[in-house]
Amino acid sequence: AGISIGAALTPFTSQISLDSCSIKYQSIDSEDEEYEMRIKGRSIIEDQKLSFLSIPVCIVLRIPAGEKLGIFLKGGISFEIPVVKTFKGTGTFTYDGFYPAYPVLLQDLPAYGFPTNHSTNSSGSLEIKSLSQHLVASGGILFALKESIQLTFGISYIRSLGNISE
């Protein structure tokens, strides 16, 4: 039995894509007129990059099953500190304004906030908690190559103990 403490850099990347979307909501313009904002988006892509400095603190149990063979079990908590948390997004959007009082639909008027086929690029920092915890559990077989060198084969299970989003 023993205690294991370590450090690792764990990177994650993901890409989220949406062929098209449509959004409508009520709004008020600069002259206090009510209108319905209609947004149509297409070719929307967001790339996310996350990297965590992982500091696992675990209890390790090694059970000998022969002179060179054994079983190991390991469990504990890993403290996760984000070191990279960025996103980059692109898409093309069309904004229309429907004024029900008149009734009129304003389109392709970029000076008034209703551009057509407007390409957007956005980037920034993901809102991730500065510290999160993960449950760590693993087990498997170990082979003693020398007295102080062992080769292990096993499975590992890691699960977040909460939401990582801020």
pLDDT per position as a tens digit, 73-88: 999 999 999 999 999 9
Residue 70 contacts residue 142 (beta carbons within 8 Å): yes
- Residue 148's pLDDT band (cuts 50, 70, 90): confident
* Sign of torsion over alpha carbons 32, 37, 43, 47: positive
Residue 27 contacts residue 36 (beta carbons within 8 Å): yes
At 147 the pLDDT is: 81
Alpha-carbon distances, residue 15 vs 46, 47, 88 (angstroms): 6, 4, 10
Mean pLDDT of 41-67: 96
Alpha-carbon distances, residue 7 vs 34, 42, 59 (angstroms): 56, 42, 15
Predicted TM-score (pTM) of the model is 0.74
Residue 105 contacts residue 139 (beta carbons within 8 Å): no
Mean pLDDT of 140-152: 91
Mean pLDDT of 29-48: 96
pLDDT per position as a tens digit, 102-143: 999 999 999 999 999 999 999 999 999 999 999 999 999 999
DSSP string, the chain: -EEEE--EEEEEEEEEEEEEEEEEEEEE-TTS-EEEEEEEEEEEEEEEEEEEEEEEEEEEEEEE-SSSEEEEEEEEEEEEEEEEEEEEEEEEEEEEEEETTTTEEE-SBGGGTB-SSEEEEEEEE--B-S-EEEEEEEEEEEEESSSS-EEEEEEEEEEESS--B-
